Amino acid sequence: MYYFDFNELDKTIPSRFAHMFEYLFFFIEEDILHTPKCYGEEYFRYLKKEYNLSPKIEKLKKTSGLQNYIFFNSNQINSPFMKKSTLLKFQLENKFFDHQVRFIKNVLDSNPENMIYKKDLGFSGRGVSESKKGAAIEEEKLNRLIDFSIFYNDGDLLIYQNFVDDNFQYKGTIIESEYIKSINDFLLRFVGNSTIEDFINKLTLTIDFCKKHTNHFCLDSFIYEKKGEKLIHPGCEVNDRKTMGYLFHEIKKNLFNLEERITFKISKNQLDGYKLLSPSNDSLLIQYSLEA
């Protein structure tokens, strides 16, 4: 039995957002979801008509005896990867970077131009900005071209493209059947073989490092351009949980398995050519398109 609560990832998330995307559970599981939210009959009629789904919900009274659906297991609640420094220390020790990255001790540290700053805690782009306040990490701001994630699930690897805005906030994912299980083929569309080989070598070491702590995790990365050359970041952060991209992959597998490509987006307004997964009155809408 499950509930869905982002607040267990980051206590600074306002309570009104903690269960914001929990309805994705309805598109993946047939089990009961325990929730503090009230879903109107109109939304359940929509799910039945459009997706032939009949969600089962119960009022969330207490979480004891329940599992937070965003985790594969309870050990992930206290994952060392809740801190960005866990991955970064490993990367620095292994000299993974072709650009400037370092830990900073306080706001009086030097402040060169063209840098971004990261707080140690935060996920999905939270705690990343051009403001130095509260930052633990300073990194050269790169010309991002393609954002992507690699999800490790107990030996299986998935790769998919993400949408990330200029404020480093996650905005959606593209799932493509042709590339979902081939890292090399996915990357070969954007960069050369030598760049891929260098990245795969770093990825192999990173996976081995992460596996010491967890068997289910997501490495976020991106392709960037520097001095006319396209390179691959060795990894921005590790998310030790079910990510939005992973949930979208599960939805595709469950409802759209025969489709070659599906685009999921998060936005304040419904987009042309997209169909809603979310209630239509939510402040942030999750929607998909088979054509985009």
The answer to the question of residue 254 being in a domain is no
**119 and 18, same structural domain?**
no
Tell me the one-letter amino acid at 226.
K
**166 and 88, same structural domain?**
yes
216 close to 153: Cβ distance less than 8 angstroms: yes
The answer to the question of residue 266 being in a domain is no
**113 and 201, same structural domain?**
yes
pLDDT surpassing 60 at residue 17: yes
**187 and 65, same structural domain?**
no
Q: Which helix (H) or strand (E) holds 285?
A: strand 285-289
Question: How many helices (DSSP H) and strands (DSSP E) are in the chain?
Answer: 6, 17
**128 and 4, same structural domain?**
no
Q: Dump pLDDT digits (tens) for 97-151.
A: 999 999 988 655 556 778 999 999 876 666 788 888 888 999 999 999 999 999 9
Q: Dump pLDDT digits (tens) for 55-108.
A: 999 999 999 999 999 999 999 999 999 999 999 999 999 999 999 999 988 655
- Chain-centroid distance, C-alpha 5: 15
pTM of the model: 0.95
The answer to the question of residue 289 being in a domain is no
**97 and 38, same structural domain?**
no
**116 and 48, same structural domain?**
no
Q: Which range of residues forms the domain containing residue 116? A: 77-239
